[in-house]
Amino acid sequence: MITESAAAQWDLELDDLFLTIGHRFGRVELRRRMRDYVRGLLAPVARKNSWQLAEQAGHSTPDGLQHLLAGSKWEPDDIRDDLQEYVAGKLGKADGVLIIDDTGFIKKGTTSAGVQRQYSGTAGRTENCQIGVFAAYASACGRALVDRELYLPKSWTEDRERCRTARVPDEREFATKGELARHMVLRALASPLPITWVTADSAYGQDNRFRRLLEQSGVGYVLAVPKSQFSVGCSRIEGLFAQAPDEAWEKISCGDGAKGPRIYLWAAVRLPAVAEESFPSTLASWPTRSRPATCSALSRTWADITAPGAGDWWACSPACTTPGCVLRRPSGWRSRTATSPTRGGGWRISIGPGRPRGRSGPRRARCTTTAG
């Protein structure tokens, strides 16, 4: 329950944020409308259209808010940069995590930019919707959205007149969700945000270009990949787990879910080193699969900051320094304790050499992942 003092402090913090980005709006009335618009988005308004947001702000008509969004001159990307600097100052920690995910916004009609019938993870089915790809920053201090990209299907980018009607810039070309995610990761790594890990679901983890970007950037990562993902010595990653002996499995908590504790049995195996262009002789993989178990133990996990899809497989670095995440290294199949998100799948971990950004010293391992 939120107390009055907490609400007052939250209001002061919001005013502080408004002061941080206010200089991006050239006129005082635009700054006031920006504040009213943001407060309206955060308010319990049933439908967040211009009319209802204007009513929430006490405006007689929505003209002012519509002008703010469609007629006035300000650069959203400049505000994004200010926001990332603000979040770094408030929530930044050395072990910060960047989370990539997409979500759908169900729409009626065909005029909203990027709208078409497409799969929406939010709805769990194909709907007439827009898809946005988002980046969130999380640390022990809290979490916040720090970047966004609107996905434009080819049905839009190949119809320039339709794009102009929706005010989509002419230079905007088709880009996959993975490409949009790569752009956001590069921006985040160039920002003041201290990022040690990047995590995403299988839509991004199965994209080898996304994984290579993270390896080349020297940042750790935990990415889901499908259980059908190719693995060294096995056509499908799931085939490896049929070989696991009973003693390889260890009971680990994955946090509290909507239906109570999520307890799984975990196991991991080291694969032969894989030669890749970026890391010729040092890349290895540890796939891990989990299966449900019954246990009352609970622990705080990454499930607190991200919600993976059902059936995903995940992975984590054997050199991971996250508290509570330990991988013991006997030969062959090995037990592991992990605090990464999961929902009844397994992990595939790719380990490559690299150094944390802005630090010198010995190379540390980093991880990629798997989902299914």
Residue 339 — pLDDT band, cuts 50, 70, 90? very low
pLDDT of res. 305: 26
Average pLDDT over residues 24-29: 92
Residue 334 — pLDDT band, cuts 50, 70, 90? very low
SS3 content of the chain, % helix, strand, coil (to 5): 30, 25, 45
Are 81 and 21 part of one and the same domain?
no
Residue 253's Cβ-count burial label (10 Å; 0-12, 13-18, 19+) is buried
pLDDT of res. 27: 92
pLDDT of res. 1: 63
Say how many residues make up the chain: 372
Residue 233 — pLDDT band, cuts 50, 70, 90? low
CA distances in angstroms from 172 to 159, 204, 304, listed in the order given? 12, 21, 35
Are 228 and 362 part of one and the same domain?
yes
Residue 235 — pLDDT band, cuts 50, 70, 90? confident
pLDDT of res. 319: 40
Outline where the chain has alpha helix (H). 4-21, 28-42, 50-57, 63-70, 76-91, 154-157, 160-165, 177-190, 202-205, 208-217
Inform me whether the pLDDT recorded for 306 exceeds 70.
Answer: no
pLDDT of res. 100: 97
Are 114 and 144 part of one and the same domain?
yes
Average pLDDT over residues 103-108: 91
- Comparing C-alpha atoms, which of 327, 323, 325, 302 is closest to residue 312? 302
pLDDT in tens, 44-71: 888 888 999 999 999 999 999 999 998 8
Are 176 and 95 part of one and the same domain?
yes
Are 46 and 129 part of one and the same domain?
no
Q: What's the rounded Cα separation, in Å, for the pair 48 and 51?
A: 8
Inform me whether the pLDDT recorded for 170 exceeds 70.
Answer: yes
Single-letter amino acid code for the residue at 114: G
**Higher local confidence (pLDDT), 312 or 18:** 18
Inform me whether the pLDDT recorded for 99 exceeds 90.
Answer: yes
The answer to whether residues 264 and 293 touch, using CB atoms and an 8 Å cutoff, is yes
Instruction: Please count the structural domains in the chain.
Output: 3
Are 232 and 292 part of one and the same domain?
yes
Residue 266 lies in a domain: yes
Q: Are strands 326-327 and 288-292 parallel, antiparallel or unpaired?
A: unpaired
The answer to whether residues 346 and 202 touch, using CB atoms and an 8 Å cutoff, is no
Q: What's the rounded Cα separation, in Å, for the pair 268 and 351?
A: 13
pLDDT of res. 46: 85
Gyration radius of the chain's alpha carbons: 23
The answer to whether residues 272 and 358 touch, using CB atoms and an 8 Å cutoff, is no
Considering 195, 227, 249, which residue would you say is the last residue of a domain?
A: 195
Parent domain of 248: 215-367
Exposed e or buried b per residue across 134-152, where buried means at least 16 C-beta atoms within 10 angstroms of its C-beta: bbbbbbeeebeebbebbbb
**Higher local confidence (pLDDT), 324 or 51:** 51
Determine what percent of the chain is predicted with pLDDT higher than 90.
Answer: 45
pLDDT of res. 51: 93
Residue 169 lies in a domain: yes
Considering 195, 227, 242, which residue would you say is the last residue of a domain?
A: 195
**Higher local confidence (pLDDT), 27 or 295:** 27
Are 84 and 26 part of one and the same domain?
no
Residue 203 lies in a domain: no
For 260, the token pair is: 């109570």
Average confidence score pLDDT of the chain: 75
Inform me whether the pLDDT recorded for 360 exceeds 70.
Answer: no
pLDDT in tens, 240-278: 777 778 888 888 887 787 888 888 887 776 665 555 444
Average pLDDT over residues 79-84: 95
Average pLDDT over residues 24-47: 92
pLDDT of res. 188: 97
Are 235 and 313 part of one and the same domain?
yes
Considering 50, 70, 90, which residue would you say is the last residue of a domain?
A: 70
pLDDT of res. 68: 93
Q: What's the rounded Cα separation, in Å, for the pair 137 and 82?
A: 14
Are 227 and 359 part of one and the same domain?
yes
Residue 84 — pLDDT band, cuts 50, 70, 90? very high
Residue 17 lies in a domain: yes
Say what the pTM is.
Answer: 0.72
Are 357 and 241 part of one and the same domain?
yes
pLDDT in tens, 119-142: 998 888 999 999 999 999 999 999
Residue 210 lies in a domain: no
Residue 200 lies in a domain: no
- Comparing C-alpha atoms, which of 226, 221, 301, 215 is closest to residue 261? 301
**Higher local confidence (pLDDT), 338 or 272:** 272
Are 240 and 163 part of one and the same domain?
no
Are 178 and 273 part of one and the same domain?
no
Residue 14 lies in a domain: yes
Residue 319 lies in a domain: yes
